[in-house]
Structure 1
């Protein structure tokens, strides 16, 4: 049971109603996370705008979803883990790709470098060394992509905190967290 009211898209008006209609158009349904965030028009605009902006960025949808599941697992966010695993599959990732990403691994050297960087940022609260950023450059990422990776991290921390703190009901097929089993 959510700790906050989930806004009914059918009764939402104004900017919130418009954004929930856009979200419904994108997903075919309004996921519970957006119904929770819709309590704040500013937060909904921030979240939905960030998804749109990053969706048009340099980082591929598949890599964005792999980043998301790695962060969700570290933050014990069942909601984001389920949602981004499903979205990753839609973006062309295999079940194995997503399970490996959830564990912070990948057989692709570039993806592996990104996931290692992402987990270091999350676990060490962005207390990085120059060598951490240089490792991404060595894996072929430029400054634009590095900044965008950090933006993905920030968006995923936002969504994880919303879902965990407010106990938003998961409305995607469930995925088992790995963190507790490591």
Structure 2
């Protein structure tokens, strides 16, 4: 396994410090995954900028976490699954819905199921959705234009999930209750 330093705002390369500071200001901490991403200023800066744009994508905070959790499970990133499970629960996503996604299934809520299924279809089909996939998404109550916002979520998740899989940073105590292993 490759080993990467886990940086603080102070120890990160100069080009990574502003992005880490933004995360620290927003979250009250610099997550280990982001602190690992800081080894590449281009990666952490792009990640933080894209993540900031995801907030205006027309999804609720809970829906955003369902999207990101679905991606983390599809990409088999244990750190991100624990992180987004924790945040989804904190945003009011019912535990049963979070658990369904963590097990590779779909939430029972039709809107969340449509979002989760669509994000997984985009990953599995490399963006080549068919009419049935689009209908699944719109049947959940989403406007077809929100598919482009799902792409933004996928881009953000890919940066985090691939880094997490490559570097395997330690899971912080606040997220350990939601620890996850591939194959659950």
- TM-score calculated relative to the size of structure 2: 0.87
Alignment of 1:180 onto 2:173: no
- Within-5 A mapping of 1:138-157: 138-157=139-158
Distance 1:12 1:154, change over 3 A: closer
8 Å contact kept, 1:69–1:80: yes
Looking at structure 2, the residues matched to 21 and 15 of structure 1 have their Cα atoms a distance apart, in angstroms, of 11
Residue 183 of structure 2 aligns to a residue in which SS? helix
Structure 1 counterpart of 2:137:
136
Looking at structure 1, the residues matched to 23 and 9 of structure 2 have their Cα atoms a distance apart, in angstroms, of 10
Structure 2 counterpart of 1:101:
101
Structure 1 counterpart of 2:16:
16
Q: Which moved more, 1:107-116 or 1:7-16?
A: 7-16
Structure 2 counterpart of 1:53:
53
8 Å contact kept, 1:2–1:168: no
Looking at structure 1, the residues matched to 14 and 91 of structure 2 have their Cα atoms a distance apart, in angstroms, of 32
Deviation, structure 1 residue 125: 2.3
Alignment of 1:169 onto 2:173: no
Residue 143 of structure 1 aligns to a residue in which SS? coil
Looking at structure 1, the residues matched to 55 and 76 of structure 2 have their Cα atoms a distance apart, in angstroms, of 24
- Within-5 A mapping of 1:5-44: 5-12=5-12, 14-44=14-44
CA RMSD of superposed structures (Å): 2.0
Looking at structure 1, the residues matched to 65 and 108 of structure 2 have their Cα atoms a distance apart, in angstroms, of 16
Deviation, structure 1 residue 19: 2.0
Q: How many residues align?
A: 180
8 Å contact kept, 1:2–1:166: yes
